[in-house]
């Protein structure tokens, strides 16, 4: 038995409705990083406890060299 917590899945119906708040474009779900990625905005919105945090100020810039992009 592993003590490592498993990422909480996001409801697929919710993912179909969400768009990037900046571009209004589509988002890609990165389950490993627990992020919703907007390729157009070059932002990754975090998912915490299964809840997408759709605030631009909370998003990670994909061009940030201190973070590796996954997917």
| Model confidence at 67: pLDDT above 90 | no
Task: Give the CATH class of 12-61.
Answer: mainly beta
Split at pLDDT 50, 70, 90, the class of 10 is confident
Instruction: Tell me the pLDDT band of 71, cut-offs 50, 70 and 90.
Output: very low
Q: Tell me the pLDDT tens digit for each residue of 12-63.
A: 898 899 999 999 999 999 999 999 999 999 999 999 998 999 999 999 999 8
Q: Where along the chain do its domains lie?
A: 12-61
What pLDDT shows up at residue 69?
45
User: Which two tokens mark 20?
Assistant: 């990037």
């Amino acid at each position: 038995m592993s003590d490592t917590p498993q990422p909480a899945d996001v409801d697929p119906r919710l993912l179909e409705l969400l768009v990037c708040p900046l571009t209004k474009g589509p988002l890609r779900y990165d389950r490993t990083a627990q992020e919703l990625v907007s390729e157009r905005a070059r932002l990754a919105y975090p998912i915490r406890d299964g809840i997408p945090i759709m605030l631009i100020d909370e998003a990670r810039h994909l061009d940030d060299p201190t973070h590796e992009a996954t997917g």
